[in-house]
Amino acid sequence: MNILKDILYKVAIESVTGSTDIAIHKIDFDSRKIEANDVFVAIRGSLSDGHDYIQKAIELGATAIICDTLPEVLAKKVTYIKVKDTNSALAFMAANYFDNPSEKIKLVGITGTNGKTTIASLLYQLFKKAGFKVGLLSTVKILVDETEYKATHTTPDSITINHYLNEMIEAGVTYCFMEVSSHGIHQKRTEALHFVGGIFTNLSHDHLDYHPTFAEYRDVKKSFFDSLPKTAFALSNIDDKNGPVMLQNTVAKKRTYALKSYADYKAQILENQLSGLLLKINDNEVWVKLIGTFNAYNLLAIYGTAIELGIDSLEALRLLSDLESVSGRFQFIVSDSNITAIVDYAHTPDALENVLKTINDIRTKNEQLITVVGCGGNRDKTKRPIMAQIGSELSDKAIFTSDNPRNEDPETIISEMEKGVEPQNYKKTLAITDRKQAIKTACQLAQPNDIILIAGKGHETYQEVNGVRHDFDDMKIVKEILAQLNK
């Protein structure tokens, strides 16, 4: 049984009306889920304000209300706690409610624009192979050792995070790797968590629909490192110009990785093929199954983290060589007619450029590179023309199509993309709104030895149109179409 005053530990309280010495059932910020003796936390969101639902929560049985503005009329027998910030209060209350599980596990957070999912998922894989029970909190899925749960956000809400961390403790998990998004940091979802390490990947154009400026986006990421304790490590990619910025004010142990600069963990690419990479990491050569410069960075971050967490360097290299690529991250198949189809989550200009440059570095130029790409609706519009410019410049043919149009007109999104195409590349582009038809056209245009890149959705198994998610899996669709064409 939880007592309200116990779960308010470390919360910045401004005033209390009523008793805090009451037993509470659970905490929630969704008024529809409130039951008898629950605590309702009123969160101000982008679409709705929890303060508007305080009365509804009380009618459903809430005995305590956490808010930043008190209602004009206070109900009898209900405790009102006025706090400075309800997001922050929720973070500490959720941690206290589950008895601070992050303090009983080795939790590592990964932040940056690109690479978070790959690094978190491969660290999970590496530590599993090393014989540990491991947890994963990622965009793709949540794993409590072997048990899988569906993920809905890159960084879940504070209650969900602490719930799963608690499940991990009960399952005997010793390490957990967690993607930390800028939204999650900004909304204080990670504030009450105890991290033993933080990793910075890179920073490029993304989420400027949410953050008003790039500087704010960068500073939100930096605040994650600023909050790490002295006992933690902060591992940063210093080839990225924002890499040193992340380490400026942290009290954590500063560690760096790079391909081009002097760093604690340094790599050199000796060979780059479709079958893998030959890397030289801190004077030792290792063959890995992943490809591309961006994966060399990801693998360096993984190697550095393994060392910081106490794995022997040669054992870490052996485990690196055994890692398999992550779902929807440069996943490829080769058809019977020798057409290579690659599915990748690249949904930012930087990620798309990285993937296309990787393919162009590997290929012989005797084959065509056909790219199918779209941009999501209700998201950062400024990246649309840039994505199209990159796609058309670095491919032999670019097909612009729907991604997740959400509540926008997909044809409007495509026309906004097309504005970025330079005149010399007009003839290389096609616009096909239906994503399945776009993939089919790419497959029909492809000759033996050609390469098709399907970018933007990666691991996603749905397409969101007007608020409805329809089954859609890029890899499944391209496999079926290529198999039909082979027949």
- CA distances 447 to 229, 474, 485, Å, are 55, 20, 11
204 vs 294 pLDDT, higher one: 294
* pLDDT for residue 210: 54
Q: Taking 90 as the threshold, does the pLDDT of residue 487 lie above it?
A: no
Helix axes 349-362, 293-308, angle to 10 degrees: 110
Q: Taking 70 as the threshold, does the pLDDT of residue 154 lie above it?
A: no
Contact between residue 192 and residue 157 where contact means Cβ atoms under 8 Å apart: no
> Average pLDDT for residues 260-267, to the nearest whole number?
98
> Six-digit token pair at 192?
């009450």
> Six-digit token pair at 244?
């040193």
* pLDDT for residue 243: 96
Residues contacting 391, CB < 8 A, separation 6+: 352, 356, 371, 373, 398, 400, 455
> Six-digit token pair at 81?
């706690």
Contact between residue 30 and residue 56 where contact means Cβ atoms under 8 Å apart: no
Q: Taking 50 as the threshold, does the pLDDT of residue 246 lie above it?
A: yes
Residue type, 361: D
pTM for this structure? 0.84
> Average pLDDT for residues 193-207, to the nearest whole number?
86
* pLDDT for residue 17: 97
> Average pLDDT for residues 139-165, to the nearest whole number?
90
Q: Can you tell me whether residue 192 is helix, strand or coil?
A: coil
Among 216, 118, 204, 243, CA closest to 387: 204
**Number of Cβ within a 10 Å radius of residue 350:** 19
**What counts of helices (H) and strands (E) characterise the chain?**
15, 26
Contact between residue 305 and residue 123 where contact means Cβ atoms under 8 Å apart: yes
* pLDDT for residue 155: 75
Residue type, 428: K
Q: Taking 70 as the threshold, does the pLDDT of residue 208 lie above it?
A: no
Among 167, 222, 233, 159, CA closest to 196: 233
Share of the chain above pLDDT 70, in %: 98
Residues contacting 455, CB < 8 A, separation 6+: 344, 345, 346, 347, 352, 355, 371, 372, 373, 391
Distance between CA 71 and CA 342 in Å, rounded? 55
* pLDDT for residue 431: 98
Taken in order 126, 131, 132, 135, is the CA torsion positive or negative?
A: positive
Among 174, 221, 218, CA closest to 198: 221
82-126 pLDDT per residue, tens: 999 999 999 999 999 999 999 999 999 999 988 999 999 999 999
**Number of Cβ within a 10 Å radius of residue 264:** 17
What is the H or E stretch that residue 267 is in? strand 265-273
Distance between CA 199 and CA 111 in Å, rounded? 6
> Average pLDDT for residues 275-303, to the nearest whole number?
95
> Average pLDDT for residues 311-328, to the nearest whole number?
94
486 vs 422 pLDDT, higher one: 422
Strand locations in 320-450 (E): 331-334, 340-344, 369-373, 397-400, 429-431
Start-to-end CA distance of the chain, whole Å, equals 64
- CA distances 444 to 337, 450, 482, Å, are 12, 11, 9
3-state secondary structure string across 17-45: ECCCCCEECCEECCHHHCCCCCEEECCEC
Quote the mean pLDDT of the chain: 94
Residue type, 64: A
* pLDDT for residue 80: 98
Q: Taking 60 as the threshold, does the pLDDT of residue 205 lie above it?
A: no
> Average pLDDT for residues 267-287, to the nearest whole number?
94
3-state secondary structure string across 142-156: EEECCEEEECCCCCC
* pLDDT for residue 40: 98
Q: Taking 90 as the threshold, does the pLDDT of residue 301 lie above it?
A: yes
* pLDDT for residue 207: 45
